[in-house]
Chain A
Amino acid sequence: MMTQTDELVAAYLARVEQAASRLPAGRREELLGDLREHIEIARAESETGTEAEVRTILDRLGDPESIVAAADTQTDIPRVTPPPPFTPPPFTPPPFTPASPPRPNLKPLWVLLGLLAVGAVIVLCLGLAFFVPSDSGPAPSVENAPPAPAATATATVEPSE
């Protein structure tokens, strides 16, 4: 099935693949896919598809090593550009980092404050429990008070008598 020109193409792609072994797997596959596609279409468009024409296609693509070298420089450029997306995060962490160390210190404080609040509520409830009956106590004593003015009245009456 494999013709001589197919073998020529396979050998060329194998050379690219070997040179591209230093590239990350994703980039290598992408590059090989692009070149495979280029060859396939250029062959489909070539008039006769002879071996000479295929050789021309491969010659124009160029030396596998220099193609991979170009891929190397292209992987370097995006490495330079990513820093902008990377710089925003460092700006946000600083606010987070000062905030996070106090947190462990604040936790016991919050627990203490919580306990104090619970304690205060209990004290208030107990206080109310004591004061409410004593409030109902004074109420009668207020009712008892009128006799007192009466007593004073009688006391004031007494001198007049």
Chain B
Amino acid sequence: MEVSEDAALTTALRRGTIEYCVLALLDKRELYGVELVQQLSTGLGMTTSEGTMYPLLSRLRRNGRIATTWREAPAGPPRRYYTLTPDGEAALTHFRTEWVAFRSGVDRILGTEIR
């Protein structure tokens, strides 16, 4: 019960933020699916739910915030690289501002400000 509550909490915390983590990772450089999903799951402690990120990626692609391009790989099958679109870049910039304001508000209320 405590485990499922913890899971519900982390799910709730990730919701609304994870897609901007995707945009931020792609802002650094383009990544193919396996790389992107592994970096996200490692960074956010979701190493046993990499698969759940593909529906998120397809939504971001449908909404025009990311795009994909196929590239030949030196070894193995060609990779489909995810890239940030100008729309995605604008959304990321906006979220960064919103996030800082939101985070400071929560920190003030919780008493968790870094002094």
Within 8 A of B (CB), among A61-103: 61-64, 66-67, 69-71, 73-75, 77-78, 81
Question: How far apart are the CA atoms of A37 and B76 in the complex, in Å?
Answer: 12
B50, B76, B80: which contacts A60 (Cβ < 8 A)?
A: B50
* Chain B residues closer than 8 Å to A61, beta-carbon distance: 49-51
Contact B33 A78 (CB under 8 A): no
Instruction: Say which size band chain B's interface belongs to.
Output: 20 to 34
Main secondary structure of the interface of A (DSSP, over half): helix
Number of residues from A at the complex interface, CB < 8 A: 30
B34, B47, B53, B55: which contacts A42 (Cβ < 8 A)?
A: B34
* Chain B residues closer than 8 Å to A67, beta-carbon distance: 49, 51-52, 54-55
Contact B49 A66 (CB under 8 A): yes
A34 in the interface, Cβ–Cβ < 8 Å?
yes
B29 in the interface, Cβ–Cβ < 8 Å?
no
B26 in the interface, Cβ–Cβ < 8 Å?
no
* Chain B residues closer than 8 Å to A35, beta-carbon distance: 51, 54
A51 in the interface, Cβ–Cβ < 8 Å?
no
Contact B76 A45 (CB under 8 A): yes
Question: How far apart are the CA atoms of A60 and B50 in the complex, in Å?
Answer: 6
How distant is A132 from chain B, measured CB to nearest CB, in Å? 73
A31, A37, A63, A81: which contacts B55 (Cβ < 8 A)?
A: A31
Question: How far apart are the CA atoms of A71 and B57 in the complex, in Å?
Answer: 10
What are 16 contact pairs spanning A and B, CB under 8 A?
A31-B55, A34-B57, A44-B76, A45-B76, A60-B38, A61-B51, A62-B51, A64-B51, A67-B51, A67-B55, A70-B55, A71-B55, A73-B15, A73-B55, A74-B55, A75-B55
Residues in B lying within 8 Å of A, measured CB to CB: 15, 32-34, 37-38, 41, 47-59, 62-63, 75-77, 79-80
Extra contacts, 8 of them, besides A16-B51, A27-B58, A62-B51 (Cβ < 8 A), are A34-B57, A38-B54, A44-B75, A45-B34, A64-B51, A67-B54, A71-B54, A78-B62
Residues in A lying within 8 Å of B, measured CB to CB: 16, 27, 30-31, 34-35, 37-38, 40-42, 44-45, 59-64, 66-67, 69-71, 73-75, 77-78, 81
